[in-house]
Structure 1
Amino acid sequence: MALGVALDLGTSGYRGHLVDLDKKGKILATAITMRHPLPGANIMDHLHFWMENGPDVGHRIVIETVDKLIGTMGAKPEEIERVSVCGNPAQMSMFEKIEIRDLAFAGQSILKRLNVKVPERKAHSLKAEELGMSSVRRTAEVRIPPSIRHEIGADALAMIMKTGLMEKKETCMVTDYGTNAEMGLFYKGELYTGSAAAGPAMEGQSIDFGMLAAPQAISDIALGENGRWYNIVLSDKLHPVRSALVDPRTGEEQRLDGVVARGITGTGTVAAMAIGLETGIIKLPYVDTPDRKIHLTNGIYFGEEDVREAGKATGAIRAGHRTLIEEVGVDDKEIKTMYMAGASGTYVDPIKAQTV
């Protein structure tokens, strides 16, 4: 069996899949980190840490994290012969240990003053040993996709390729619903790109009980009888399970399954916002309950500060969409399809996302 690893180096955390290369990339195992290995919650924090502490320190942390992530998937290093990596230009540059200051500073004058040589970020391959990786075969091929611009890195390019956006006959948009919210608008054979500082709320961060998608995370909410809400929680195998039926105003709950929630992820945040708006429990920017909290299972709640954080994220994405649409000069009605990518974009209920 020929094994490979697909890595997504995100701003909020890393995600990896062990795949069977002989069976068209069938996923055999998945592993995620609960946060980014470098300190901070956004790309500027990561760049600042890298420049303050030096590339040797930063790169060692990144590679050690990648090795530990791959090591949890159950394959022996000598069995893994290929690694494919995607991420935004900064994350990819840190993974490769190449110049990142051209991404940290704006304007050519400061880059010239600092004598920064902008590296080529074309598609290429490396050997794992060149990066110091120990979790795969030393001679394993590590494939690095191109980073075209600041807002179109390897992750955004993968999103565009996977959706087949460039072959579409209609006007459409695609968005990676993550911390940096890369997006593209395809119109009359041209692709217009941008990104928005959505922040980590879409990844379940900056929320009081927020967490990345993992077992025991509330991933969705559905309306039940008598105004109660079904809390849908991820099982140990990341399967969504109706865990409890909860009165969002009082917290009174009826347990339905053995999966006990310990937090809420980005898709659950979107669901709480959508159901809250539909039922009138959320009257922006307030929560219309006696204690100003939406009660979920196991003592978890979604409060007014969480509403504001989620609002910042959705507002930033909305602003990005509006900017692209207006700059290109497209009428809203001309956009026939919206493709949703990224961990949140893939698993979120699209109708609830549209509501928010």
Structure 2
Amino acid sequence: MTDQRADWDRVAELLPDPQQELDLTLLRKLPELMRENDFEITVVTYRGKVISVEAGDTTTVGYGCAIDIGTTTVICSLHDLFDGQEITAASAFNPQRTYGADVISRIDFSLTGGNLEKLQNLIIDQVNTLIDEVISKAGINRADIYLLSVVGNTTMQHLLLGLPAKYIAAPPFVGTLYTGLSFDSTDLGIKINDRGQTVFLPHVAGYVGADIVAGVLATGAYKYDAPCVLIDVGTNAEIVLAAQGSLYACSAAAGPAFEGANICCGMRAETGAIDRVWLEDGKLHYHVIGQVPALGLCGSGLVDVIAELLSIGIIDCSGRLLTRKEAIPIVGDTLAESLRENDDGDEFVIVENSEFQKVSLTQRDIRQVQLAKGAILAGIRIMIKEMGIKMEDVELFNLAGSFGNVLNKKNAQVVGLIPATISLSKVEYAGNTAHVGAQINLLRADTEEIVNSVVKNIKYIELSDRSDFTEEFTNAMFFGECEG
């Protein structure tokens, strides 16, 4: 009788922020829950919102997952929200790849009736499967997971949310949602705590998504004074240039060559793929993933073989593959024997397992790489120009993503993925910065303010709208001394 505060008022006074947003459903169950548990309850909040009210003292239990929705691969790591430790992780191929290896193909597929929902269900099911895997490994309950932090490129997040992505595919490349928001996981069909939240990092543009924002967060690029570059090479290579609080970003349409598509013997980095190539004692050597007979050439192997053939002159600076007759005086008979002419054009045979099985590099493959690296290098040069600095001013060049982190730095520079004037001592492997950024967003309370500031400060450059892009792109397609 001496303390007649309402139930919620009594609870709210103990919360860090007394103005917490409250769900009406939770409020309805509060009176009985408090009295059944002798007024000992646990309140779970997230960014100003009460997401759960539970019986007793459960303050020592709380988990979250950081999820990277890649175009090719989905990664899920489980973390203790109290000490931040990663407990376990799981990954799998993105099942949407059945309907297209790249985002444009998936957007096209989503336009037919019911297919957007099909793509959404596929990725939601995969997320739930990975959550099942990590909780099984950790021996915890699904209800103990309160928070998911999700990143992905703009299209991947649109498809997960079931948002129309149609207008990302055509000029002016506009998405439905760029703002980073949180949603009730149950509304998405994601199976964690019934009151759990799924939070998404924001995007910059249609082709500069939350994955690259997460990369900026993970590398701390937004804090650098000296110029630094962050590049994540995929079908679309996202590039960020940062210096003294200024950030520029662009997306270069590199195409799928580095993922094995549109390459004569191209394949993904999986068992049977040649992933490394090198010259030793005048002979070409290679490594195959899984130590099995070579089946094809993945992106890192593709870069290596082109770099090696450039270094000995079998490929000239214009990108032309020499004929056997032209190559003999330069490299001798042994290596020149690998040069062949056939109905489909010239090729360099890396390995011939049998009469019917060979792995080779064709003239067309070289042109595909020139197109890809030309777009990337042109994008870097335009941002350097826009910032008003010189390429040699760059103090750090971060290679991010699964492809970037297996590249041979020297060979990447020979091919032109890394500008020639940047010292290789300044090139670093940044790891999977998208996933690391998702983890930071999961575990740190200040990331919402940081990423919103980052996105607000990024100056996005639409390369296709630049009058100087064609010239820069044309010059950047050449190799070495021919390069403009």
Q: TM-score range by the shorter chain?
A: 0.7 to 0.9
SS of match in other structure, 1:274: helix
Q: For each residue in 1:155-176, what CA deviation from the matched residue of structure 2 results, as whole angstroms up to 9, or x when unmatched?
A: 1101111111111121121111
Counterpart selection for 2:136 from 75, 86, 95 = 75
Aligned to 1:176: 232
Shift of 1:262: 3.0
Q: What is the 5 A alignment of 1:77-156?
A: 78-79=141-142, 81=145, 82-107=147-172, 119-133=176-190, 140-156=196-212
SS of match in other structure, 1:8: strand
- Identify if the C-alpha distance between structure 1 residues 286 and 186 changes in structure 2 by more than 3 Å, giving closer, same or farther: same
SS of match in other structure, 2:274: strand
Shift of 1:67: 4.2
1:57 correspondence with 2:113: no
1:194 correspondence with 2:250: yes
SS of match in other structure, 1:228: strand
Q: Which amino acid aligns with 2:339?
A: P
CA contact (8 A) 1:219 1:234 kept: yes
Counterpart selection for 1:285 from 309, 320, 328 = 320
Deviates more, 1:175-184 or 1:301-310: 301-310
CA contact (8 A) 1:38 1:46 kept: no
- Identify if the C-alpha distance between structure 1 residues 304 and 120 changes in structure 2 by more than 3 Å, giving closer, same or farther: closer
Shift of 1:319: 1.6
**Partner Cα distance (2:62, 2:407) in 1:** 32
CA contact (8 A) 1:30 1:73 kept: yes
CA contact (8 A) 1:151 1:193 kept: no
Q: Which amino acid aligns with 1:47?
A: I
With normalisation by structure 1, the TM-score equals 0.78
CA contact (8 A) 2:294 2:351 kept: no
Structure 1 unaligned residues grouped into runs of 5+: 112-117, 236-257
**Partner Cα distance (2:161, 2:276) in 1:** 36
SS of match in other structure, 1:122: coil
RMSD after superposition: 3.1
SS of match in other structure, 1:85: strand
Q: Which amino acid aligns with 1:286?
A: L
Aligned to 1:306: 365
Deviates more, 1:46-55 or 1:175-184: 46-55
Q: Which amino acid aligns with 1:263?
A: G
1:336 correspondence with 2:395: yes
SS of match in other structure, 1:47: helix
Shift of 1:65: 4.2
Q: Which amino acid aligns with 1:155?
A: D
CA contact (8 A) 2:90 2:130 kept: no
Aligned to 1:248: none
Q: For each residue in 1:101-152, what CA deviation from the matched residue of structure 2 results, as whole angstroms up to 9, or x when unmatched?
A: 44244359xx9xxxxxx74432233343322235x56555433111132243
Aligned to 1:232: 287
**Partner Cα distance (1:338, 1:78) in 2:** 42
Q: Which amino acid aligns with 1:285?
A: R
Aligned to 2:406: 347
Shift of 1:74: 8.2
Deviates more, 1:124-133 or 1:151-160: 124-133
Structure possessing the higher radius of gyration over alpha carbons: 2
CA contact (8 A) 1:37 1:65 kept: no
CA contact (8 A) 1:185 1:324 kept: yes
**Partner Cα distance (2:103, 2:348) in 1:** 31
Shift of 1:216: 3.4
**Partner Cα distance (1:35, 1:207) in 2:** 22
Counterpart selection for 1:164 from 220, 237, 241 = 220
**Partner Cα distance (1:185, 1:171) in 2:** 7
**Partner Cα distance (1:195, 1:184) in 2:** 9
CA contact (8 A) 2:185 2:196 kept: yes
CA contact (8 A) 2:135 2:141 kept: no
**Partner Cα distance (2:97, 2:281) in 1:** 43
**Partner Cα distance (1:89, 1:47) in 2:** 11
- Identify if the C-alpha distance between structure 1 residues 328 and 169 changes in structure 2 by more than 3 Å, giving closer, same or farther: closer
Shift of 1:195: 0.6
Q: Which amino acid aligns with 1:159?
A: G
Q: Which amino acid aligns with 2:301?
A: G
1:321 correspondence with 2:380: yes
1:270 correspondence with 2:270: no
With normalisation by structure 2, the TM-score equals 0.59
CA contact (8 A) 2:264 2:361 kept: yes
CA contact (8 A) 1:274 1:352 kept: yes
Aligned to 2:351: 296
Equivalences, count: 323
Shift of 1:87: 1.4
Q: For each residue in 1:41-96, what CA deviation from the matched residue of structure 2 results, as whole angstroms up to 9, or x when unmatched?
A: 43222222212234323322333344456667783794582433221112111111
Structure 2 unaligned residues grouped into runs of 5+: 1-60, 324-337, 341-346, 416-484
Deviates more, 1:94-103 or 1:27-36: 27-36
Q: For each residue in 1:286-340, what CA deviation from the matched residue of structure 2 results, as whole angstroms up to 9, or x when unmatched?
A: 2554312231375322222222222221111112112222233322222222111
- Percent identity over the alignment is 28
Q: Which amino acid aligns with 1:61?
A: L
Shift of 1:263: 2.8
**Partner Cα distance (2:234, 2:254) in 1:** 7
CA contact (8 A) 1:7 1:14 kept: no
